[in-house]
Homo-oligomer: A and B are copies of this chain.
């Protein structure tokens, strides 16, 4: 039972089928194929606004290119200190944005709050020795497995906008946030003040499909060439586009996210009930963060449960439910924990 990362699950059957179908014959290259040409319209429907869609190879590319597009080299990007673009991308945003400065901020359960952002903006001031506040980047769902409500996002983007910042959303697990909140895609993004977002499908059922979405057409000016210059315009883009279309088709993304979230809820509940486990964040999507006593950790591993140790904190572990866990796997996990709890 692999709870290491949602990046380790295979693609969903529907998405694999779409990819196979896309391979039936010739198609124009560089995004002029029939699948790619549906993207803007399809996403515009789903997001209920004019949306420009640029597939890229990875979520890191989406984030880093978003920063480069929305922040000058002498600008500052405010993000949570746990944000993927701050701690997991080997400096990709700084590289792509030619030196832009990330300003990592603290906040409970991976979530930013207005006050630290305001304080950080004020600290930079308007002296040329400090970078210009330029971009707010939120992660939805967060790296701690929590979600922002629409109201929370609005409060943050309003603050940002009042200081002249643009607003980016890292949506590597956006579908999980959608089903967690019950909100519409529009409500959690542009209606809440988001200008552009990294849209991830890979962790939630695609074989590999990520895109950068722009809700503000003016902000996308020149982006097609920026993506090309980054080596992120796929020559046979149809395969990525076909995956993205299948991902949205018949709400597949919500179906898979719901399954993953529900699986995590049960994993979290089982752990929460166990005396040797302590959840450190609310379980709101498909991620569970828990402190485990060594005995419990050993028991789980002995039973073939795979999950990651959290860097720098010896007894902290992350379990991520992929979209394709089966009922019997979950029941087995629960049984394992109940026995332990009984003991």
- Interface of A with B (CB < 8 Å)? 2, 4-5, 7-11, 16, 19-20, 22-30, 56-65, 72-74, 87-96, 98-101, 122-123, 125, 128-132, 202-203, 207-208, 222, 224-236, 239, 311-312, 322
Contacts and interface: CB of A to CB of B under 8 A. Distances in A.
A231 B228 contact: no
Contacts of A229: 73-74, 89-92, 95, 99, 131
The interface centre, meaning the residue of A72, A73, A90, A235 with most chain B CB atoms within 10 A of its CB, is A90
B26 A8 contact: yes
A238 B57 CA distance: 14
Contacts of A131: 90-91, 225, 229
B128 A89 contact: no
A312 B132 CA distance: 17
Contact of A228 (B87, B129, B227): B129
Given A7-B29, A11-B236, A202-B235, 20 more contacts: A7-B30, A8-B27, A10-B24, A16-B23, A56-B231, A57-B58, A61-B232, A73-B91, A74-B228, A91-B131, A92-B229, A93-B99, A94-B100, A125-B311, A128-B224, A128-B225, A128-B228, A129-B228, A132-B222, A208-B235
Contact of A231 (B19, B20, B57, B222): B57
Given A8-B26, A236-B208, A90 B61 contact: no
Report how many copies the assembly holds.
4
A34 B290 CA distance: 29
A10 B25 CA distance: 6
A300 to B, nearest CB: 17
Nearest to A134: B222
Contact of A28 (B8, B62, B92, B234): B8
A89 B207 CA distance: 26
26 contacts: A5-B29, A7-B30, A9-B26, A10-B22, A10-B26, A30-B129, A56-B231, A57-B58, A60-B231, A73-B95, A74-B95, A74-B226, A87-B130, A90-B225, A90-B229, A94-B99, A94-B100, A96-B99, A98-B98, A98-B99, A99-B99, A128-B228, A129-B228, A202-B235, A207-B239, A208-B234
B99 A91 contact: yes
Given A208-B239, A322-B26, A89 B228 contact: yes
A60 to B, nearest CB: 4
